[in-house]
A and B are shown apart, each in its own frame.
Chain A
Amino acid sequence: MNSARERIIAALEQQAKSEVVAAEVQQLRNRLQRADAHAQGGSSAGEEIVARFRARAQTAGAVVMQAHTPADVPGLLDEYLRAATSVILGEDALVRASGLGETLRGRGDACQVRSVTDADLQRETDDWKHRYASADLGITGAVGGIAESGAVVITSSEYESRSVSLLPHTHVVLLRASDIVPSLPAAATLLRSLIMERGASAVTLIDGPSKTADIEKVLVTGVHGPRTFVIVLITDARDDASTGTRPL
């Protein structure tokens, strides 16, 4: 350990209160929980939460679509799929259940289709970043949604790269409506489980397309990340048996 650490900690310990009182922490937690419940108007009816999520995601600039089952997704996204000449797919259960890979590959040479697990997208390969950057469309699954702000939660894993939702021009994310929680504090359990139990190194909340207002407060989308951000809400994900116990 370096001496700077010892010096800093020693200086702080002279000033700090000696112990963290568990009751004080609990009191703050309770207040936070009350404030959050109050902020959400006490209502957590599923339909109301989904409606709020949709409205706020749209305010943040997302395109929101609604599918009944994962199998409905390719038809719903037809316009985006036809416009794309290069697509990268995540391999999470929801994306696989949607059959998007089969649909796209069925189109033959018109569209180059890759999966995040393909050899030429791995970090050991030259130009892997460039392949991501030249894709039109990246498709991933989400692990949660936050109604309060309309944000989706995505995570790094064996099946999802960080780059697939960041480097292509358009990002499409599939989200089960049942995974939407009312607020950010209410998402704490999900975040804790992703980070502390599953050990995800990168969990990201996404609220709309990449944007800036650095020039005269004029809103411009697509400054560094995707210009277009599409959320496909799946209202009845349980219809599809292949999602099973929902591994990531």
Chain B
Amino acid sequence: MSTPTPIVPEHFKQLVGERIHDDALRGNIRRATRTSLEKRLAVISDYDDWEELRSLGYDIKRHVIDHLPYYLKKFEHAAAAAGAVVHFATDAAEAREIVHGLAVQRGGPVIVKSKSMTTEEIGLTHALEDAGIRTVETDLGEYIVQLAKEPPSHITAPALHKSRAEIGRLFADMLGIAYTDDPEELTAIARRLLREDFLAADVGISGVNFAIAESGTLCIVENEGNVRLSTGLPKTHIAVMGMEKLLPDMESLGLFLNLLGRSATGQRLTCYTSLITGPRRPNERDGPDEVHIVILDNGRSRMMRDPHLREALFCIRCGACMNVCPVYQSIGGHGYGSVYSGPIGSIITPVFYGEKRSRALPFASSLCGACAEICPVKIDIHHHLLWWRKSMVGSGDAPRSERLMMRIFLAISRRPALFDLAGRIARLFTPLLRDGDGGISVPVWRGSRSFPAPPKKSFKQLWRHHEQRS
């Protein structure tokens, strides 16, 4: 499934316009992101050299991505030896087809699914539902947005944009229960309804946080227990993973779990960390009979080829860059109009959905660099955004008017005499455009910013004056 509407500047402006004045929405987002950031700070102070842990995270990821085929084959071999079935999918359609095929053969009244950005990326839940297979998102946040027929708005907190009152009304409308806005009660209602599905399902679907090459193990982290229920109770477990999720061994897993929990939710470790290696062994009491692992490319090998995109493969989907981003805090995840939102989303979305369709995203950043500073694996996020801008403008994606303006500027700025003349003209006429704030209003910025008024004298004039005096 592709992004429904291309995120070109016109569409992006509309998305932003709908949200930028919504104080309630912005309040919800600010509260949630601030809580995560404060909790993160408290737990990273456990370490007096957090920077070295981040550097190590970067270096281990770089090592794995540099040698991806080696680790991929090693993982495949170990997982198969443990009894899992490994599938490869070059794109989203292939991945959907594999999962659909498995689900249809195995049947059951419902599929229970745990939260996974990769399955969002390939539009899996919609595809299964469209094929008439009831598929329930079981993470509470995902359950809420599924009821609201919305996509998740944050990597780790899908319903962070909604207030308790909105969720209460949603539950009352969709589930036919009496209205309550008490988080305890709402959670208890979801628990009761979802338990029935967990006990009835024959197929469970999950994502993957880390795949351990040495043992063929899938590592999945969560707080609620729905991953354990989705992967442990049904007869078949299907895991969908991007092929960049690999780690060499158990030691590096320890490091990455420390980086992920602290960066994502400010926890030292999430409540449950499941290490799943193949299906139930014959002597074990319970667990699935089959484990299928779908390894997804979907543009990742292209990212590996490109030095400016390769680092984005290091991402462990913690969401810290969203929490800290001034743009995200103002417009929320839905403001980006893409599955992966926030700073990292603006780098990878053009790869997954096409550059032409994602043209606005690399520009949805102030380039302040807070994202790169917080990233637990030191991805140089804002520089990669800058590179995307250059690449998109270079391939002619900029509007004709902008290109014309830039060409005129280039022509003038290359010729000192012409530049002087243009400056003189500007200083002469711009006072006519002066706005109330001491700047000048430029129509293309639509009143959202004002352009600084030019000084009375140019730098060259001031310099000449200075030299004459001394």
Q: Which residues of A contact B (CB under 8 A)?
A: 2, 4-5, 7-9, 11-17, 19-20, 24-25, 28-29, 31-33, 35-36, 38-39, 56, 59-60, 116-117, 121-123, 128-130, 133, 146, 148-151, 156-158, 160-163, 166, 183-189, 191-192, 195-196, 199-218, 220, 222-226
On chain B, the number of residues with a Cβ less than 8 Å from chain A's Cβ atoms is 100
Contact status B252-A210, CB under 8 Å:
no
Give the tally of cross-chain contacts (CB within 8 A).
289
Which of B56, B164, B225, B254 touches A186 (beta carbons < 8 Å)?
B254
A2 CA / B87 CA spacing, docked (Å): 8
Check A39–B47 contact: CB distance below 8 A: yes
B320 proximal to A (CB < 8 A): no
Q: Are B283 and A8 interface neighbours, CB within 8 A?
A: no
Contact pick for B66, options A16, A128, A187, A188, CB 8 Å: A16
Given the known interface contacts A157-B284, A188-B250, A207-B270, the answer about A224 and B56 at a Cβ–Cβ threshold of 8 Å is no
Beta-carbon contacts under 8 Å, B106-142 to A? 138-141
B67 is an interface residue with CB less than 8 A from chain A: yes
- Whether A220 lies near B187 (C-beta < 8 A) is yes
**Contact indicator B68/A162 (Cβ below 8 Å):** no
Contacts of A133 in B (CB 8 A): 195, 199
Report B296 CB to chain A, min CB distance, Å.
9
Is B215 located at the chain interface by the 8 A CB criterion? yes
Residues of A within 8 A of B249 (CB): 188, 192
Contacting pair A32 B301 (CB below 8 A): no
A184: chain B residues at CB < 8 Å are 253-255, 257-258, 269
Is B157 a contact of A214 with CB atoms below 8 Å?
A: yes
The answer to whether B224 has its CB under 8 Å from any CB of chain A is yes
Q: Which residue of chain A has its CB nearest to the CB of B145? A: A214
Once the chains bind, are A32 and B271 in contact (CB under 8 Å)?
A: no
| Chain B residues whose CB sits within 8 angstroms of the CB of A214 once the complex forms | 139-141, 144, 157-160
CA distance A148 to B254 in the complex (A): 11
21 A-B contact pairs sorted by A residue (CB < 8 Å): A9-B72, A12-B68, A20-B70, A33-B251, A35-B56, A148-B268, A150-B268, A156-B280, A163-B233, A184-B255, A185-B251, A201-B278, A201-B281, A203-B277, A211-B223, A212-B140, A212-B187, A217-B157, A217-B160, A224-B138, A224-B191
* Residues on the B chain within 8 Å of A32, using CB: 56, 60, 251-252, 255
Q: Which residue of B lies closest to A117 (CB)?
A: B285
Q: B287 touching A156 by the CB < 8 A rule?
A: yes
Question: Does B53 sit at the interface, judged by CB under 8 A?
Answer: yes
Query: Which one, A150, A162, A186, contacts B286 given CB within 8 A?
Result: A162
B217 and A195 contact, CB distance less than 8 A? yes
Which residues 240-259 of B have a CB within 8 angstroms of A?
Answer: 243, 248-255, 257-258
Asked whether any CB of chain A lies closer than 8 Å to the CB of B35, the reply is yes
- With A9-B72, A217-B36 already in contact, 7 other A-B pairs whose C-beta atoms are closer than 8 Å: A28-B63, A60-B267, A161-B286, A183-B258, A201-B287, A222-B187, A225-B224
Q: What is the CA–CA distance of A186 and B253 in the complex, to the nearest angstrom?
A: 11
**Closest residue to B304 on the A side, CB-wise?**
A15
For the complex, give the distance between the alpha carbons of A195 and B194 in Å.
30
Return the chain B residue nearest A198 by Cβ. B281
- Among B88-96, B324-332, B375-383, B403-411, the one that faces the other chain is B88-96
Q: Say how far B131's CB is from chain A's closest CB, in angstroms.
A: 21
Task: Flag whether B32 is at the interface (Cβ < 8 A).
Answer: yes
Given the complex, which residues of B lie within 8 Å of A122, measured CB to CB? 285
Contact A11 B301 (CB under 8 A): yes
- Asked if B88 contacts A15 (CB within 8 A), the reply is no
Partner of A151, one of B160, B250, B269: B269
| A222 in contact with B191 given A28-B60, A207-B269, A211-B223 (CB within 8 Å) | yes
Chain A residues positioned under 8 Å from B276 (CB to CB): 201-202
- Which are the 6 A-B pairs with shortest beta-carbon distances? A225-B225, A184-B254, A185-B254, A161-B285, A224-B225, A188-B250
Residues in chain B near residue A31, CB distance under 8 A: 52, 56, 59
Q: How far is the CB of B160 from chain A (nearest CB, A)?
A: 8
Q: Are A4 and B90 in contact (CB under 8 A)?
A: yes
Please judge, given known A-B contacts A149-B269, A195-B275, whether A8 and B88 are in contact too, CB under 8 Å.
Answer: yes
Q: Which of B153-167 contact A (CB under 8 A)?
A: 157-160, 162-164, 167
List A contacts of B274 (CB < 8 A): 202-204
